Structure 1
Amino acid sequence: METLIMVGQLLLGLSILVGVHEWGHMVAAKSFGMRVEKFSIGFPPKIWGKQIGETEYSIGAIPLGGFVKITGMIDESLDTKTLNAEPEPYEFRAKPAWQRLIVMMGGIIVNVVTGIIIFIGLAMVNGESYIPKEEVAEHGIVAYDLGEQLGFKTGDKILSINGQDYERFGDILSPDLLLGSDNYYTVLREGQEIRVDMPNDFIDKFADKRNQVRVIAPRRVYSVEEVVPGSNADDAGLQTGDRILSVNGFETIYFDQLVDILDSLKDQRVALQIARNGETIETRALVESDGTIGFLIKDELDYVIRDFTFGESLQEGTYNAFAVVWLNIKGFQKMIAGDVDVRKSLSGPIKIATFFGGTWDWNNFWRIVGLLSMVLAFMNFLPIPALDGGHVMFLTWEIVTGRKPSDRFLENAQKVGMVILLSLMAFVIINDTISLF
Structure 2
Amino acid sequence: MDIVIKLSQFLLSLSLLIILHELGHFIPAKLFKTRVEKFYLFFDVKYSLFKKKIGETEYGIGWLPLGGYVKISGMIDESMDKEQMAQEPQPWEFRTKPAWQRLIIMLGGVTVNFILAFIIYIGMAFAYGDTYIANADLKDGVAIDNPAMIKAGFRTGDKIISIDGKTVENFDSDMNMNVIMAKHVLIERDGKQQTITMPTDFVDQLSKTEKGLLIGIRKPYAIGKVAEDSPNQNLKPKDLILSLNGQKIKYFDEAKAILDSNKGKAISAVVLRDLKETPINLKVTKEGKLGVVVGGLDLKSLEKLGYYKISTKEYGFFESIPVGLEKGKDQLVGYGKQLKMIFNPETKAYKQVGGFAAIFNIFPTSWSWEVFWSITALLSIMLGVMNLLPIPALDGGHVMFLLYEIVSGKKPSDKFLENAQMVGFVLLISLLLFANGNDIYKAIVGK
Distance 2:403 2:296 in 1: 61
User: Helix, strand or coil: the match of 2:86?
Assistant: coil
Q: Quote how far apart the aligned CAs of 1:393 are.
A: 0.8
Distance 1:113 1:268 in 2: 62
User: Helix, strand or coil: the match of 1:131?
Assistant: strand
Q: Which amino acid aligns with 1:367?
A: S
Normalised by the length of structure 2, the TM-score is: 0.85
After superposition, where does 1:397-412 map in structure 2 within 5 Å?
A: 397-412=404-419
Partner residue of 2:268 out of 268, 271, 290: 271
The aligned residue for residue 6 of structure 1 is: 6
Distance 1:347 1:294 in 2: 32
Distance 1:329 1:402 in 2: 31
After superposition, where does 1:339-418 map in structure 2 within 5 Å?
A: 339-418=346-425
Q: Quote how far apart the aligned CAs of 1:420 are.
A: 0.6
Partner residue of 2:101 out of 99, 102, 106: 99
Q: Which amino acid aligns with 1:29?
A: A
Normalised by the length of structure 1, the TM-score is: 0.87
User: Helix, strand or coil: the match of 2:169?
Assistant: coil
Contact 2:268–2:279 (CA<8 Å) still a contact in 1? yes
Name the % identity. 40
Distance 2:365 2:293 in 1: 29
User: Helix, strand or coil: the match of 1:37?
Assistant: strand
After superposition, where does 1:45-194 map in structure 2 within 5 Å?
A: 45=45, 46-136=48-138, 138-144=139-145, 145-161=147-163, 165-170=167-172, 173-181=175-183, 183-189=184-190, 191-194=191-194
- Are residues 239 and 326 of structure 1, via their aligned partners in 2, closer, same or farther at CA, if it must alter by over 3 Å? closer
- Are residues 305 and 291 of structure 1, via their aligned partners in 2, closer, same or farther at CA, if it must alter by over 3 Å? farther
The aligned residue for residue 322 of structure 2 is: 315
User: Helix, strand or coil: the match of 2:390?
Assistant: coil
Q: Quote how far apart the aligned CAs of 1:264 are.
A: 8.4
The aligned residue for residue 219 of structure 1 is: 218
Contact 2:270–2:279 (CA<8 Å) still a contact in 1? yes
- Are residues 306 and 266 of structure 1, via their aligned partners in 2, closer, same or farther at CA, if it must alter by over 3 Å? farther
Q: Which amino acid aligns with 2:336?
A: I
Q: Quote how far apart the aligned CAs of 1:13 are.
A: 1.4
Q: Which amino acid aligns with 1:218?
A: I
Distance 2:185 2:349 in 1: 25
Q: Which amino acid aligns with 1:336?
A: F
- Are residues 276 and 8 of structure 1, via their aligned partners in 2, closer, same or farther at CA, if it must alter by over 3 Å? closer
Q: Quote how far apart the aligned CAs of 1:243 are.
A: 5.6
Matched positions, count: 429
- Are residues 227 and 60 of structure 1, via their aligned partners in 2, closer, same or farther at CA, if it must alter by over 3 Å? closer
Distance 1:293 1:381 in 2: 48
* Gap regions ≥5 residues in structure 1: none
Q: Quote how far apart the aligned CAs of 1:265 are.
A: 7.4
Q: Quote how far apart the aligned CAs of 1:31 are.
A: 0.8
Distance 2:293 2:6 in 1: 34
Distance 2:174 2:392 in 1: 39
The aligned residue for residue 33 of structure 1 is: 33
Q: Quote how far apart the aligned CAs of 1:361 are.
A: 2.2
Larger displacement relative to structure 2 (84-93 or 329-338): 329-338
Contact 1:266–1:290 (CA<8 Å) still a contact in 2? no
Give the aligned CA root-mean-square deviation in angstroms: 3.2
Q: Quote how far apart the aligned CAs of 1:30 are.
A: 0.7
Distance 2:88 2:159 in 1: 73
Contact 2:131–2:313 (CA<8 Å) still a contact in 1? yes
User: Helix, strand or coil: the match of 1:271?
Assistant: strand
